[in-house]
Amino acid sequence: MNSIIQSLSENIQVIYRKSIDADQIISHLQHDGKGKFSAIFAEEAGFTTSSRLFKPYVEELAKEVLALETNTQEAIKLQLPAMVKKIELMLTTLEQFQKTARK
């Protein structure tokens, strides 16, 4: 299980680095009167966070990964599918956002 947690942590680090750039772009767009939305992800995406920026979502994921270290293997197995789904959603969304922002 340690290797799985390590892999999740590495993914969070990648997401964090990408989110910094994305959040800067969002801030510039909003400053220019663009990017008028209330949250990046809809409620059904699985996040408890609701934000116009990526960083709060990254923080939520990081806390969840840290919490795995103190859980039993059974609890980890139950939490992994939802966590992996959120990580995949974050990576996909960040990738799409960066492609769109470059245009």
pLDDT value at residue 81: 94
Span 20-56, pLDDT tens digits: 999 999 998 888 887 677 899 998 999 999 999 999 9
Q: Where are the domains of the chain?
A: 2-102
Rounded distance between C-alpha atoms, residue 12 and residue 37, angstroms: 24
pTM of the model: 0.89
% of the chain residues with pLDDT over 90: 68
83: Cβ contacts below 8 Å, ≥ 6 apart: 8, 61, 64, 65, 68
Cα separations in angstroms, 53 against 3, 37, 73, 98: 30, 10, 32, 14
Mean pLDDT, the chain, as a whole number? 91
